[in-house]
Amino acid sequence: MNIILLGPPGAGKGTQAGLLEDKFDMAQLSTGDMLRAAVKAQTEVGKKAKAVMDAGELVSDEIVSGIIGDRLDELGPNKGIIFDGYPRTAAQAHSLDEILSKRGRTLNHVIELSVDEDALVDRITGRYACTSCNEGYHDRHKKPSKEGVCDICGNSAFKRRPDDNEETVRTRMEEYRGKTAPILPIYEDRNIVSRVDGMGDINEVADALNAILS
Ligand code: AMP
């Protein structure tokens, strides 16, 4: 099974992809995570991507489609894939078709998580994560039970994404509205699009996704 999770920044794509990985034994492919790893490792791709990401704009189609193809080859032919944050433009959607067909894969579902934009800004600007186990927290909605200490691993260092500030979030949403949402009709023509209300709590959204995929 190969699926795309679509939705604006903060819609919960990463969280839900993580749950689906476990439930359906699939692999999450997040171009955002891969690019952040490249920035951290200061690779050529990372050096090119950093300023673009910090501004909330989109990295070039060639770069992201290249890293997606490479990662698929590493995973081998039998693993189901959840594409998280890719494709984000019409050019990427066409590249993905080629990438998949070259590897004998087909796209089964495109699921859009729909959300209210002001609530997203609140969600994103408050989020942070443990530097050790990556557990996610939120300034207002999910604080650690003991202040400054991770509930899961006891670590006391946390990180925030540099692009999770209000100005950059607004730019990321404009990019979504202008370049990513318009790719949905490509998939609607193939009858593989479903929509899920992403404003519910994590378990409600997960149940809705499971119902589509089971
Ligand atoms: P994300 O973690 O998906 O919110 O992505 C963080 C940032 O990485 C985005 O704001 C873009 O700058 C870049 N990025 C991630 N995925 C893509 C993509 N498919 N196309 C272009 N840029 C991307």
Q: What is the pLDDT of residues 89-125, one digit of tens each?
A: 999 999 999 999 999 999 999 999 998 888 889 989 9
Pocket lining for ligand 1, CB < 6 angstroms: 9, 31-32, 35, 52-53, 56-59, 64, 85-86, 88, 92, 163, 172
Which atom of ligand 1 is closest in space to residue 36's alpha carbon? Answer: 8
pLDDT score recorded for residue 119:
86
Closest CA relative to residue 176, chosen from 120, 100, 96, 105: 120
Per residue in 90-123, is it b (16+ CB within 10 Å) or e — as a string?
ebbbebbeebbeeeebebebbbbbebeeeebbbb
pLDDT score recorded for residue 4:
98
Q: For residue 5, what are the β-bridge partners? A: 84, 111
Closest CA relative to residue 35, chosen from 4, 65, 2, 80: 65
**What average pLDDT does the segment 11-32 reach?**
94
Q: What is the pLDDT of residues 132-175, one digit of tens each?
A: 999 999 999 899 999 999 999 999 999 999 999 999 999 999 99
